[in-house]
């Protein structure tokens, strides 16, 4: 009998539950917000990635209390996860697929991980592997339950608009890219920082941001949804914003989100163009 494996989609990096055979398809990639590679569906495993000795995780200091964790060379979507250290509470924001002993040791030396929280399904990756390794719960919004590809008792589905995880860390569901699209607000001694994955995405022309239903397929969100996202974030106090791809707006991030939402809505209504 073929050995049971937890297969990982090579395009999005999401790990599936144990099975004898490779899944027929990846439900994350078959959704219109993602895509199946033009070369076809391909699978790997975490063990295969580790054996290849091709990958390593770069852990980079960003500012006091924030470390970015990125796999090199790029694997799948190529997102950055963030380890946030806040008053005795360490949280991993979003997740990456690759995990090895070197990464584990470095994070344990930094105090470990008390909780893992996800912005949306594209970054679920090997979240259960991380949770089991660091004995941490995973927080996912109830609205995105159907996208979980590897169930675990460590996953805690939450509901409503917000969930306070510690004195300074709160999750907020603002939807958009996914119905359960979540952002993380860190009070940081009243020097607020917002982590958005790509629920709110920093664009090339910083300090502007954007909002999309699908980034690879360039499907926009409706004006009404962007307006509600802007109104919600307007209630939060933050000065800096980190996205999922190692970009940061270092000052006036609150203003950037608001003015970007106004520009986006104008564009959808045809009010931004010369002709």
Residue 163: CB atoms within 10 Å: 17
Q: DSSP characters for 69-126?
A: EEEES--TT---EEEEEETTEEEEES--S---HHHHHHHHHTT--SEEE-SSGGG-TT
Helix (H, G, I), strand (E, B) or coil at 7: strand
Q: How does residue 1 score in pLDDT terms, banded at 50, 70 and 90?
A: low
Residue 249: CB atoms within 10 Å: 24
Identify the pLDDT of residue 246: 95
Identify the pLDDT of residue 272: 86
pTM: 0.97
Identify the pLDDT of residue 3: 83
Decide: 182 and 200 in contact? Cβ < 8 Å.
no
R_g over Cα of the chain = 18
CA distance 41 to 45: 14
pLDDT one-digit tens code per residue, 14-24: 999 999 999 99
Q: How does residue 275 score in pLDDT terms, banded at 50, 70 and 90?
A: low
CA distance 90 to 92: 7
Which bin fits 88, alpha (ψ -120 to 50), beta or left (φ > 0)?
A: left
pLDDT one-digit tens code per residue, 84-134: 999 999 999 999 999 999 999 999 999 999 999 999 999 999 999 999 999
């Amino acid at each position: 009998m073929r050995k049971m494996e937890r297969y990982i989609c090579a395009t999005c990096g999401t790990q599936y539950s144990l099975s004898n055979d490779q899944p027929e398809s990846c439900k994350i990639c078959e959704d219109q917000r993602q895509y199946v590679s033009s070369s076809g569906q391909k699978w790997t495993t975490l063990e295969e990635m580790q054996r290849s000795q091709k990958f390593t995780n770069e852990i980079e200091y960003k500012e006091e209390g924030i470390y970015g964790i990125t796999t090199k060379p790029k694997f799948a979507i190529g997102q950055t996860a963030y380890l946030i250290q806040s008053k005795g509470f360490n949280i991993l924001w979003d997740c990456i697929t690759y995990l090895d002993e070197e990464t584990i040791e470095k994070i344990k030396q930094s105090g470990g991980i008390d909780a893992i929280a996800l912005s949306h399904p594209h970054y679920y990756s090997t979240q259960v592997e991380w949770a089991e390794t660091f004995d941490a719960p995973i927080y996912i919004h109830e609205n995105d339950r159907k996208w979980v590809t590897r169930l675990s008792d460590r996953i805690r589905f939450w509901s409503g608009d917000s969930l306070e995880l510690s004195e300074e860390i709160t999750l907020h569901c603002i939807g958009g890219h996914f119905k359960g699209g979540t952002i993380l607000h860190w009070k940081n001694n009243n020097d607020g920082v917002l982590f958005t994955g790509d629920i709110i995405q920093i664009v090339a022309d910083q300090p502007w941001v954007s909002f999309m239903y699908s980034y690879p397929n360039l499907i926009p969100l409706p004006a009404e949804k962007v307006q509600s996202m802007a109104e919600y974030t307007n209630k939060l106090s933050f000065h800096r914003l980190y996205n999922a791809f190692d970009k940061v707006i270092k000052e006036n991030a609150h203003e950037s989100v608001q003015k970007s939402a106004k520009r986006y809505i104008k564009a959808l209504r045809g009010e931004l163009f010369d002709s």
